[in-house]
Amino acid sequence: MPVLELDALATRHVGPLDLRIDAGECVCLQGPSGSGKSLLLRALADLDPHAGEVRLDGVACSAMPAPQWRRRVVLVAAESQWWHARVGAHFPPGFDPAQLSAVDLPPAALDWEVVRCSTGERQRLALLRALALQPAALLLDEPTGNLDAGSCAAVEALIAAYRHAHAAAVLWVSHDARQAARVAQRCLTLHDGRFMAGVPAAEAPA
């Protein structure tokens, strides 16, 4: 079962931090702008240098080739990166276009040029692209930051379904306390590079 553990993890401006996210658990991370939330997610995904250790299922990040780690511990960044012209080229062979309906997009979106996609369309496509890798742990950086209420609900439902189906460990950065209460079992706040206990998800304002 994919448990994600941080052991004295430190990166630029952040840490050292200890944390355990259980299989199937969603932890929401809040904190002021510039407090280091994105830096922490990048370190967890092994995209930035870091000290300390991250373990998935007891296996250390430092013991796994970086590309392999990044397929298991997947970051959905606030601003997604696209390297092919066409959307579909970013998805694995055999990806079922019908899955696009889960984020309110038509199957034909796989044939769209990336440049025509709106910010919110790119955000939803980036999430689907990440889930297609079937990660054991998901690192979500404001995954609904550009979405209307309907698309936001669709994305929240999709992530919850994935988390339950795969017992995935999820770390979700959100500035929205009500969203945190909906999606997470626990909330933490990053302040001065350290975790502070947040408002328990179940007690956050409705």
Ligand X SMILES: Nc1ncnc2c1ncn2[C@@H]1O[C@H](COP(=O)(O)OP(=O)(O)OP(=O)(O)O)[C@@H](O)[C@H]1O
Instruction: Give yes or no for residue 33 binding ligand X (CB under 6 A).
Output: yes
Instruction: Give yes or no for residue 123 binding ligand X (CB under 6 A).
Output: no
Least distance between ligand X and beta carbon 48 (Å): 8
* Other residues' Cβ atoms within 10 Å of the Cβ of residue 123: 24
Instruction: Give yes or no for residue 38 binding ligand X (CB under 6 A).
Output: yes
Q: Which listed residue (17, 27, 39, 137) binds ligand X by CB under 6 A?
A: 39
Torsion of CA 157, 160, 161, 167, to 10 degrees: 170
Going across the sheet that includes 59-60, the strands are 14-21, 4-11, 51-56, 59-60
Instruction: Give yes or no for residue 65 binding ligand X (CB under 6 A).
Output: no
Pick the closest to residue 24 from 200, 174, 162 (CA basis): 162
Give the Cα-Cα-Cα angle 174, 176, 182 (nearest 5 degrees).
90
Q: Which listed residue (15, 19, 25, 35) binds ligand X by CB under 6 A?
A: 35
Instruction: Give yes or no for residue 31 binding ligand X (CB under 6 A).
Output: yes
Instruction: Give yes or no for residue 36 binding ligand X (CB under 6 A).
Output: yes
Site residues (CB under 6 A) for ligand X?
12-13, 31, 33-39
